[in-house]
Amino acid sequence: MGVHEPGALLFSPYRLREVTFPNRIVIAPMQMYKAAPDGKATDWHFQHLAKYAIGGAGTVMTEALIVDPIGRNTYGDLGIWSDEHVPPLARIADFLHGQGAVAAAQLHHAGPKSSRQRPWEGLGPLGEAEAAKGEPPWQPVSSTGDSSVAGWHTPRSMSEGEIQALLVAYREGARRADEAGFDVLDIHAAHGYLIHAFLSPVANRRDDAYGGDLAGRMRLALEIAEHVRESWPEEKPLFFRLSCVDWRPDLDSRTDGWRIEDSCVLARELAARGVDLIDCSSGGIRAENSMMDYKKMRRKLKRGHQVPYAETIRRETGIPTMAVGVILDGPQAEAILQAGQADLIAIGREALTDPHWGLHAAQALGIDPDWEKWPPSYGWWLQLRDAIGVEA
């Protein structure tokens, strides 16, 4: 990729299939744990996602939508396992379109990390206290019968019959996402959840067709991609979120667990089945999703720590990638694109603290000095503020 003028890439359009992304900024899926008891989206989700389209993001993605109730992380997760979930999601997609944004959704099954408390309640296993409040625990499912974290509910190994039912659930989830009007679909296969639990040798100790060697461990991911693509329209892009490496401290990332080389192999196979972009995250196969480990990671993570995974997959496979993780501002995002390390930039927690991240990025890159990218209802006020100034 050649050198471009500053700001030219982050705010340039990008096309996959028949969808044109107005810029390269994507609001990443972020769980709110605020769903109605039946898994429906509420006004909370509407306002949460609406403000990012107003704030300059070209693409806004829902939090993970659960394809089967047994795959809920918590009782607060949004669902897409029923046709009744479609209308409130369609309301959100319609508003995003009205702001000129691409509306994206993510399909998900939490697998061994199901049946948990909401994060602010501890993120531990549901127990008697939660059952007394009407949220009883249930037994999760996974590739094999091992807990992700000591003390969490022990999952049962999925039967091949349950796997076949799961494939139908993903296909139906994709159909419903299309009916709701979403333009892009992302399959969550990272962070120790169900699909990752099949991919990683750390978690998958099956001896049937869905375990063993790399081909066996990839089988579920590939079959899910095939079933989703069957009901997801040909003209709409399909993303796939991977933990590109396991990066557990007790593993050698070069030889143990799921490796970047495995991600490249899987990416090629996914592309052959109609996946258009790899959404590049990492970690989570075991304890990395406990609250204690979140607090530890906060002290360890560096800017753009996952960008090299997006860069490697893009370089080695030629498949588009999306970079995510501690991307803090517009100049950093622009540098990633300029260096050819990714095609799209996903912003998560930074958007929580600054819903206008995209518009501020344009100003930081010097391409919107006069507030012209802001909604006119805001921009004329802000231009006036600049004109008036403030005395010391």
pLDDT per residue rounded down to tens, the chain (392 residues)? 344 455 689 999 999 999 999 999 999 999 999 999 999 999 999 999 999 999 999 999 999 999 999 999 999 999 999 999 999 999 999 999 999 999 999 999 999 999 999 999 999 999 999 999 999 999 999 999 988 787 899 999 999 999 999 999 999 999 999 999 999 999 999 999 999 999 999 999 999 999 999 999 999 999 999 999 999 999 999 999 999 999 765 555 555 799 999 999 999 999 999 999 999 999 989 764 444 455 555 556 789 999 999 999 999 999 999 999 999 999 999 999 999 999 999 999 999 999 999 999 999 999 999 999 999 999 999 999 888 877 76
Which of 241, 272, 329 has the alpha carbon at shortest distance from 61?
A: 241
Give 119's DSSP letter.
Answer: G
Give the pLDDT score at 146.
85
Q: Provide the pLDDT for residue 163.
A: 98
Separation CA 322–CA 241 (nearest Å) = 9
Q: Report residue 97 as tokens.
A: 């379109």
Q: Side chain identity at 138, as an amino acid letter?
A: W
The radius of gyration of the chain's CA atoms, rounded to the nearest angstrom, is 21
Residue 164, pLDDT score:
98
The catalytic residues are 193
Find the helix packing angle between 260-272 and 307-317, rounded to 10°.
50
Instruction: Render pLDDT for 341-365 as a digit per residue (tens, 0 to 9).
Output: 999 999 999 999 999 999 999 999 9
Instruction: For domain 14-388, give its CATH number from 3.20.20.70, 3.60.150.10, 3.40.50.300, 3.90.1150.10.
Output: 3.20.20.70
Strand partners, 186: 106, 239
Task: 174-178: list long-range contacts, CB under 8 Å, 24+ apart.
Answer: 174/107, 174/227, 174/228, 174/229, 174/230, 174/231, 174/232, 175/231, 175/232, 176/80, 176/83, 176/85, 176/86, 176/89, 177/65, 177/80, 177/89, 177/105, 177/107, 177/232, 178/231, 178/232, 178/233, 178/236
The model's pTM: 0.94
